Amino acid sequence: MEWWKEGILYQIYPKSFKDSTGNGVGDLPGIISQVDYLDYLGIDMVWLSPIFASPDFDNGYDISNYRKIKPEFGDMADFHTLMEELHRRDIRLILDMVVNHTSSQHKWFQKSRENSRGPFADFYHWETDKPNNWESFFGGPTWSFDEAREEYYLHLFHEEQPDLNWENPRVRQEVYEIMKFWLDKGVDGFRLDVINLLSKAEGYPEGEKKSSGYTDGSPYFVNGPKLTDYLKEMNQEVFKNYDMVKIGEVIGGEPQYYKSLIADTEKALDLLIHFDHVSLDQRKDKWTGKEFSLVSFKQVIEKWLRTLAPEGWNAFYLENHDQPRSVERFAKGGKYRERSAKMLATMLLTLPVTPFIYQGQEIGMTNLNFTDISEVVDVESRNFYNSFIENGGDPQEALELISTRGRDNGRSPMQWNSSRGAGFTSGTPWLKLNDNYQEVNVDQEKEKENSVLQYYRDLISFRKNNPALIRGYFMQSAADDEDIFAYWRKGKDRTFLVVLNFSNTIQVFLDDHYSKNLEFIMSNVMVKEDHASDKIPPLAPYEARIYSQH
């Protein structure tokens, strides 16, 4: 059964979820202590960002030992307990596999840099002369000189994250063994980090020059020449022998291309994490903004839904550990914070997708407010700050950009209660807490009627009881409307109309063709008693409504 299509996924960033020791860093026992909370929320799958040994140059996305739990997070016994506790509640466990690169401290790299002829010599991309001037994802060059081997090695991300050489069959076999190691323990799938970057074009051709002075190498490693061969082999050697979900994180590329990956008989991937809808408010890179346009947003959603379906299936997210919080990004904070969080939840949980909820989203957490660079931890944001200042930029402006666009916004500690440390830690948190934790936290949300958390729970259970919201036909209404996102979900037994006001003004929405026989189901603003007529009353700012049609 393709259980991942019916289920709802919850992403945990272990470092920021719950600290059980008081050292300021979240850990596995912390997650174990909150498994009942996950059950209460009603989700079906948990994706854990990397939990493996790592020197943390990129918060665990630089793995030094794939078979070892990061000691800060706990040990293998904790891992087993966590998996058992989740499984006992019918919650599946998905691990984050980072196999495009390792940590520079991984023993393969240590051996590879020592010797240009030994068995590990070709585990990474080594070149005597620097082949190109590609820019890394975190800024700066992708080739660094290694003093020991006296050659250059490739790293698309941080210099402590050397890219594995997938051309080498031994590398591939080693990775497959790691995957089997975890699947044999009973995990239910992987989220495959930047999986579409595995194959690099032969000769590493130079890219076009960018304003930074570096070049754009993406045509030579995004969906590279051998990617599909590697994925098919991975499927053949590993995936097809397990009941599991394969979620690929993919940068760039077109939905039509990905359809062939996920709808192919080889079925290498099941779900995708793409960036199209979270790139709409960016101009040339993530630091240069552009106004959010609802029409473009709707077009992107429609395009992916139409292209992948019916053979494939979409995942959808508004937040994760690389993205700022969604409330102010797609709607509005301040007095509209709760309403906006619920409106976005309504969209997420009524589209024909596997919804991904990121920790804290279900209580409407918001971005951080950085006032000094010393508070910023993320390598990408710190690199940005340095180059911005070097180029004569204003530090205050850089901090404002980091506070709205940087990755730390999604990584601030989970807000459990209003005590010091927000119930996340009894010590000093590794990254600063959001100032609003006394008003925005799980304990209060549990007690308060009509809270964001209660709304999430209601919608999750409503979705589960109404298959039309999962598999039903999706049809937009008023696709050109700049303020309203409205769509029908037509199932075998029921049809729903979802109307979302993305603006801060009152909006009239009429769908003449269908406005008859509508029964009010729920709204984040209005109660049923106030909804007297059988016409659709105007929508309040950021209101979301669900109707059922007879």
Burial of 243 (0-12, 13-18, 19+ CB in 10 A): exposed
Q: Phi and psi for 354 in degrees, rounded to 5?
A: -90, 110
In the complex, minimum distance from the CB of residue 62 to ligand ISL, in angstroms, rounded to a whole number: 7
Closer residue to ligand ISL (CB): 73 or 485 = 73
Our answer to whether residue 193 is catalytic in this structure is yes
- Out of 249, 266, 483, 543, which one is annotated catalytic? 249
Q: Which two tokens stand for residue 239?
A: 């995936």
Cα separation values, 313 from 6, 304, 471, Å: 11, 9, 10
**Residue in 2, 7, 1 with CA at minimum distance from that of residue 470:** 7
DSSP class per residue in 386-441:
HHHHHTT--HHHHHHHHHHHSGGGGGSPP---SSGGGGT-SS--SSPPPGGGGTS-
In the complex, minimum distance from the CB of residue 170 to ligand ISL, in angstroms, rounded to a whole number: 22
Burial of 311 (0-12, 13-18, 19+ CB in 10 A): exposed
Closer residue to ligand ISL (CB): 377 or 525 = 377
In the complex, minimum distance from the CB of residue 381 to ligand ISL, in angstroms, rounded to a whole number: 9
How many Å apart are CA 496 and CA 509, to the nearest integer? 15
| Residues in contact with ligand ISL by the rule CB under 6 A | 58, 61, 98, 137, 157, 193-194, 249, 251, 286, 321-322, 380, 407
Q: Which two tokens stand for residue 397?
A: 């402006």
Q: Give the distance from CA 495 to its chain's centroid.
A: 30
The residue ranges of DSSP E strands in 478-527, in sequence order, are: 484-490, 495-501, 518-523
Cα separation values, 493 from 78, 207, 489, Å: 44, 53, 11
In the complex, minimum distance from the CB of residue 46 to ligand ISL, in angstroms, rounded to a whole number: 16
Closer residue to ligand ISL (CB): 19 or 96 = 96
Asked if residues 270 and 262 have their Cβ atoms less than 8 Å apart, the reply is: yes
How many Å apart are CA 15 and CA 28, to the nearest integer? 9
**Residue in 406, 415, 433 with CA at minimum distance from that of residue 329:** 406
In the complex, minimum distance from the CB of residue 523 to ligand ISL, in angstroms, rounded to a whole number: 34
- HSE-up (13 A, CA, CB side) for residue 281: 16
In the complex, minimum distance from the CB of residue 206 to ligand ISL, in angstroms, rounded to a whole number: 21
In the complex, minimum distance from the CB of residue 405 to ligand ISL, in angstroms, rounded to a whole number: 8
Asked if residues 122 and 168 have their Cβ atoms less than 8 Å apart, the reply is: yes
Beta pairing partners, 163: 101
Closer residue to ligand ISL (CB): 162 or 421 = 162
- Out of 72, 159, 188, 193, which one is annotated catalytic? 193
Closer residue to ligand ISL (CB): 20 or 196 = 196
Q: Give the distance from CA 195 to its chain's centroid.
A: 14
Closer residue to ligand ISL (CB): 40 or 137 = 137
The reply to whether omega before 310 is within 30° of 0 (cis) is yes
Cα separation values, 238 from 13, 252, 265, 372, Å: 26, 26, 15, 47
How many Å apart are CA 330 and CA 292, to the nearest integer? 7
- Helix, strand, or coil here: 344? helix
In the complex, minimum distance from the CB of residue 257 to ligand ISL, in angstroms, rounded to a whole number: 18
In the complex, minimum distance from the CB of residue 419 to ligand ISL, in angstroms, rounded to a whole number: 29
How many Å apart are CA 341 and CA 507, to the nearest integer? 19
Closer residue to ligand ISL (CB): 146 or 322 = 322
Residue positions annotated with a catalytic role: 193, 249
